[in-house]
Amino acid sequence: MALSEKSSSELSSFLQTQRTAYDELVAQGLKLDLTRGKPSAAQLDLSEELLSLPHGHAAADGTDVRNYGGLKGLTELREIFADLLGVEVDQIIAGGNSSLTVMYDTLVQCLLHGAVDSERPWSQEDKVRFICPVPGYDRHFVLLESLGIEMITVPMTQDGPDAAAIAELVKDDPSIKGMWVVPTYANPSGAVCTQEVAAALTSMPTAAPDFKIFWDNAYAFHHLTEEETKSADILSLAAASGHPHRPVVFASTSKITFAGAGVAFFAGSSETIAWFVGHLGKRSIGPDKINHLRHLQFFKNADGVREHMAKHRAIIAPKFAEVQRVLTERLGEHDVATWNDPAGGYFVNLDVIDGTASRVVELAKGAGIALTPAGASYPHGDDPVDGNIRLAPTMPPVEEVTAAMEAVATCVLVAAAEKYSN
Ligand code: PLP
């Protein structure tokens, strides 16, 4: 029976039962963590061989990777990721260890110098605003906030950002300079941006002539099922609709090899690449090509990456299955939450009764379960309805995921029963 349909006496006995369960949970003295989307040690072990690579130090063209130079990164590694991301080799560069850093650099270049198609630096505009589909990635929002860029939220749907709402916003407002999209297995909703939504975003008229789609494809290859969903072909769509410089694409091997010692990629039109490399050349004499060669020798080719991702899937899919099982078994009949069953990525998005997300996180903390702060998936950490919780099950071993999810379910039930009792 749905909790909302219970009589007040049924509700109070239900609350009592859940509080007893919660007290038992606290007494167990658990210490579990479902906060950040990090790979587990077993996933990192899949790439252990990298620690004994590269063999030798010459790229295919004879370049000595130990030396300076090669701003665009090792060509053979760019070829592999161009193939995987569906772009041309001259549309992609390989950089340092973090795509977030590349996103930061891109924004800073836009602010200081203007984008490749800007009339002036963004910092000379009265105001710069960005569209942020929500729920979204907290670090995207923090990054904008730190640079003084205002955020306008739009809903994230299961097909990607709400393109109609975005088109309406951008058509008359030149201060809206860009937007975020995590197109494949979005953080945290798991949504996959369809080719139709991507086409709408690349073709829509924008008042800003230099509007940018920050296409952060962090989870492009992170499938949780055997179906390897292909990302929308954003660069071709943009070129075909007459806005070739609109998308800037980011990706990395952070959750493929080592989070912290992987390789980040930046892709865009050839002009966008020339613009980015032009600025990059002032702050770097070249990337860590030894790491590029190491990754090249490890993967060998695009299929090497695909095979490697299947090994990740074998490790993490059972954890995601546990999240689904526990949520369905414990919460299904009570109608107090909805959640997604992602086909890839690193997160499960849990929506609880409005006004209870912070309480759930607080209860969980009291029972030794660390959850991402409620509201983290919204700009300024402010979820207007206090209903959204991001679950990240990849890092703990599967038994801990089960224990943590049992605890989360109890906390959701306590918070819901408290809410209905008031
Ligand atoms: N983009 C998204 C959507 C992420 O979820 C993350 C990490 O959680 C990153 C980027 C970070 O990427 P990197 O490690 O390449 O900086």
pLDDT tens across 306-328, in order? 999 999 999 999 999 999 999 99
Buried b (16+ CB within 10 A) or exposed e, 204-217: bebebebbbbbbbb
Q: Which residue has the tokens 């665009």?
A: 72
Angstrom distance (rounded) from CA 250 to CA 182: 10
pLDDT of residue 61 exceeding 90, the answer is no
The predicted structure's pLDDT at residue 422: 81
Partner residues linked to 32 by β-bridges? 369
Tell which one of 36, 216, 256, 263 to mutate to probe ligand 1, the residue whose CB is within 8 A of the most ligand atoms.
216
Instruction: Please list the residue range(s) of the chain that carry CATH number 3.40.640.10.
Output: 57-301
Among protein residues, the one whose CA lies closest to atom 8 of ligand 1: 37
Rg (CA), the chain: 23
- Mean pLDDT of the 247-258 span: 98
233 Cα to the center of ligand 1, angstroms: 20
Answer yes or no: are the C-beta atoms of 190 and 345 closer than 8 Å: yes
Q: Residues 173-191, buried b or exposed e (16+ Cβ, 10 A)?
A: ebbbbbbbbbbbbbbbbbb
**What pLDDT is attached to residue 366?**
97
32-49 mean pLDDT:
94
Q: Mean of the pLDDT values across residues 70-85?
A: 97
CATH 3.90.1150.10 region(s) of the chain? 3-43+306-421
pLDDT digits (tens, 9 = 90+) for 217-247: 999 999 999 999 999 999 999 999 999 999 9
Do 356 and 419 touch, CB atoms closer than 8 A? yes
Q: Is the pLDDT of residue 348 over 90?
A: yes
Query: Across the chain, what does the average pLDDT equal?
Result: 97
Query: What's the CATH fold of domain 3-43+306-421?
Result: Aspartate Aminotransferase, domain 1 (3.90.1150)
> Are 373 and 361 in contact, with CB atoms under 8 Å apart?
yes
65, pLDDT greater than 90: yes
CATH topology of domain 57-301: Aspartate Aminotransferase; domain 2 (3.40.640)
Distance 327 CA to ligand 1 centre (A): 26
CA nearest to 352, candidates 321, 380, 374: 374
Pocket of ligand 1 (CB under 6 A): 37, 98-100, 137, 182, 187, 216, 218, 252, 254, 259, 264
Distance CA 28, CA 259 (A): 32
For residue 254, report the phi and psi dihedrals to the nearest 5 degrees.
-55, -40
Does 1 score more than 90 pLDDT?
no
Q: Give percent of the chain above pLDDT 70.
A: 100
User: Shortest CA distance to 185 belongs to which of 352, 392, 33?
Assistant: 392
How many angstroms is it from 100 CA to the middle of ligand 1? 6
Ligand 1: atom nearest CA of 255 is 14
Tens digit of each residue's pLDDT (9 = 90 or more) over 200-212? 999 999 999 999 9
Q: How far is the CA of 180 from the centre of ligand 1 (A)?
A: 13
The interface pTM score, or ipTM, of the predicted complex is 0.99
Query: 330 pLDDT exceeds 90?
Result: yes
- Cα 148 to chain center, whole Å? 22
Name the pairing type of β-strands 129-134 and 150-157: parallel
**Residue whose CA is at the smallest distance from ligand 1 atom 4:** 218
Partners of 349 in the beta sheet?
A: 390
pLDDT at 325: 98
Q: In what order do the strands lie in the sheet with 212-216?
A: 92-94, 264-267, 247-252, 212-216, 176-181, 129-134, 150-157, 160-161
**Which phi and psi (to 5°) does residue 213 adopt?**
-100, 110
Over range 38-59, report the average pLDDT. Answer: 97
Model pLDDT, residue 36: 78
Cα dist. 232→37, 178, 198, 247, 315 in Å? Answer: 24, 18, 7, 12, 27
| CA 402 – CA 396 distance, rounded (Å) | 10
Q: Say what the pLDDT of residue 147 is.
A: 98
- How many Cβ atoms are within 10 Å of 147's Cβ, its own excluded? 16
